[in-house]
Chains A and B, each alone.
Chain A
Amino acid sequence: MANIQETIAKQFAEAAFTEGDQLLVNIPDAKWHDLARFLKETPELSFDYLVAIVGMDWTDEFGCIYYLTSTKYNTHISVRVATADRENPMLHSVTDLWAVAGIYEREVYDFFGIVFIGNPDMRRLFLRNDWVGFPFRKDYDTDPEVNPVRLDHEAVEDTTVTYVEDETGKVVKKDVTIFEPDDFVVNIGPQHPATHGVLRLRTAVDGETIKKIDLYLGYIHRGIEKLCEGLGYPQTLHFTDRLDYLSAMNNRHCLCLCIEKALGLEVPRRAQVIRVMMDELMRISSHLLFIGTFCMDLGATTMLFYALRERETILDILEKTCGARMTFNYNCIGGVIADLDENFVADVKKFIEIMPKAIKEYNKIFTGNVIAHNRMDGVGVLSKEDAVSYGVTGPSGRASGWACDTRKTNPYGIYSELEFDEIVRTEGDSMARYKVRIAEIEQSVRILEQLVDNIPDGEICAKVPKIVKLPEGHWFQQVETARGAFGVFIESKGGTSPTRMKFNSPGFCLAGAIDHLTRGAKIADLITIGGSLDYVVPDIDR
């Protein structure tokens, strides 16, 4: 840590440093792009993975906190960039360095109205293009009269704007074409069975070949992060179950970890073991649903029934303990909310027995199938460099050869004590993404095997004050969900509710990579590629 600080301080005299859960560098906007380039391209730093951009409204100034990770050294750093101009807030874009920044910056623009100089596409991302105001600003007018429910369709745009600096340093607005007038544009979604939710893709095609995809999000944007700002910490927990509902346990685990980190709370051993077991059960159930729906998209309808058969067994186990099939509300600050069901151990043991047999069955039915190979082999190849640049984590990233499993790189809970393999493949195509998930189910079963007989006795929840107040500061925590690295950012001013809470969802980066992955592919491959990425749209939109 000190080393990184020295290296930066030598080059950038303006940089100020703050210690927190990660080293925070304060830098004026004028120097930000130089620092970003320095952080990425200096060999002894090589921060090549942009984890998150958290837009902020500190009332006196707007700004962003950038979270960066070096995949080479597994080091982390955060950078704070701010602007005091509330009328026309502008920051410099880093899209040219990290590809994922393009979509992250659009999100910040949509919520805070911060314009990024150099970002090639400065349109709204989640909200309608005729939306009034920027909802995450602290002075946003929430009056429903300002933004009523509009039933007219929003105008379709074939152009966008970008802001660039000319030679004198003045910022000028420029029009950019998305689709040429003679492009043949097909609209896919938001109501389409193959987009796995309400995702809209405007697709320019040349015959069967995809030329470009323009992504429209926000058809299930619920403004969860803004809602959290008005609620107490225990009240914010339930939203995480509804983000990526297929990794509900993992998401909630992450938020609890972040709050516990801020409180300095020690979680009882029993609760930690239960949490990890629940996480792994959740991961298996999510991957099973992936197998079912993905194979159904490719025409193998039977696989849905096979995969959901095993998924129902998991849901039964979870339901006995949590009382619900989907939104469990199980983790809480300091541990878990209820003790395990008396049959839990026996049920899990039974499940551990049936799962390997079921996987054999899946492989027999589908994985070796000629049609499956023809549809998936070499389709949507993502190189390792692109995976890092687009921030594609989780099974999709590991299929491209990037060992990015948070459970291994930055273990949380009791993962450091467990024996399991990180599945990494090198092909990077749809088949690899599918196979990684099948193999991950086996690894999760392995984790369950190690824990099922070793659940310690004791408390299930630590002593937590009735009113949870976080000290002043900000924290960032990541966990590995079924889709990739899920992050939670909390900023507190010492009160009972956060001043900013940000959920950094893995699906968002996956969606951001669609355009890159599908260029030059056939339109039928779009279904394969989208399905194999396995995004969940409410997770993208939040």
Chain B
Amino acid sequence: MEVTTKGMPYEAFKDNEYIEKLADELRANGTNVVVGSLDKLINWGRSNSIWPLTFATSCCGIEFIALGAARYDMARFGWEVARASPRQADFIMVAGTIVHRMAPVVRRLYDQLAEPKYVIATGGCAVSGGPFKNSYHVLKGVGEIIPVDVYVPGCPPRPEAMIYGIMQLSRKMRVERFFGGVNRQENREEFLRNHPIDNTEE
């Protein structure tokens, strides 16, 4: 199954085995015709208008601004609607070093994103701590505190690399199952179990 996005030729992607494996895994038990078709339609829409959260801590954020400006122009791909509130965004682009003091804030931002939500770790620091990994105050990658979907290495990655990274995310969205998959809804009890509030009985 050829999964591609934004008119990129399938062969141009570098890790097609991964996406094929993912697609096979998700479709191991077959797909319902109606639900599968609806999934395809919805995923087509979702993957073509991914809204990022404006979130940047350091250098990578400047490249993200460059990505939004005229030369790289992410509006071509439908990603230009950068939201300042996580509640309106689809994915969080962790652009820059995450340090101890920032960790709870990132975690909260992630929790505030509406499902289905995604994370792209951009740059050496967000991937693994980068040049600062020996520091007393730096996390060895944002993967320590939130699940990451796409890693974009570089220090900072070029805007082209960021485009490639978001395209990979877009491809992932295309193969996912929406109904019964990522369209997850948590009821109140489930939510409170996962996010316990201190000093409360219930």
Contacts and interface: CB of A to CB of B under 8 A. Distances in A.
A and B physically associate = yes
A305 B75 CA distance: 13
A84 to B, nearest CB: 26
B134 A227 contact: yes
Contact of B58 (A135, A149, A220, A312): A220
Interface stretch (B18-26, B98-106, B173-181): B98-106
A238 interface: yes
Interface in B105-129: 105, 107-109
Contacts of B165: none
Interface residues of A, number: 48
B104 A127 contact: no
A127 B57 contact: no
B77 interface: no
Contact of B61 (A127, A197, A292): A197
A220 B131 CA distance: 14
A473 interface: no
A224 B54 CA distance: 26
A296 to B, nearest CB: 9
B59 A242 contact: yes
A88 interface: no
A151 B101 contact: no
A456 interface: no
A292 B135 CA distance: 33
A406 to B, nearest CB: 24
B135 A197 contact: no
Nearest to A190: B105
A218 B71 CA distance: 33
A226 B163 CA distance: 35
Interface stretch (B2-10, B40-48, B62-70): B62-70
B168 interface: no
A134 B9 CA distance: 54
Contacts, number: 130
A149 B155 contact: no
A325 B158 CA distance: 7
Contact of A223 (B58, B138, B158): B138
Interface string A119-131: 0000000111000
A219 interface: yes
A245 B62 CA distance: 9
A142 interface: yes
B134 A538 contact: no
A193 interface: yes
A223 B105 contact: no
A239 B131 contact: yes
Majority DSSP secondary structure for residues of A touching B: loop
Contacts of A11: none
Interface string B54-92: 111111011101101111000000000000100000000
A463 interface: no
Contact of A326 (B62, B71, B105, B136): B62
Interface in A164-206: 190-193, 197-198
Contacts of B70: 305, 308-309
Nearest to A218: B101
Contacts of A126: 101, 137
Interface in A278-336: 289, 292-293, 304-305, 308-309, 311-312, 325-327
B102 A222 contact: no
Contacts of A142: 136
A537 B84 CA distance: 18
Contact of A135 (B66, B105, B109, B136): B136
A326 B97 CA distance: 15
A513 B143 CA distance: 36
Interface in A218-234: 218-224, 226-227, 230
Interface string A484-510: 000000000000000000000000000
Contact of A226 (B66, B102, B136): B136
Contact of B57 (A192, A325, A538): A538
Given A326-B59, A326-B62, A150 B100 contact: yes
Most-contacted residue by chain B among A191, A193, A293 (CB, 10 A):
A191
Given A140-B136, A151-B104, A224-B132, 13 more contacts: A127-B137, A149-B100, A149-B145, A150-B100, A151-B107, A154-B104, A191-B105, A198-B105, A222-B132, A245-B62, A289-B65, A304-B68, A311-B66
11 contacts: A150-B103, A151-B145, A221-B101, A223-B135, A223-B137, A227-B132, A246-B62, A293-B65, A305-B69, A312-B66, A326-B62
7 A-B pairs closest in CB distance:
A308-B69, A245-B59, A223-B135, A538-B58, A222-B132, A219-B102, A193-B84
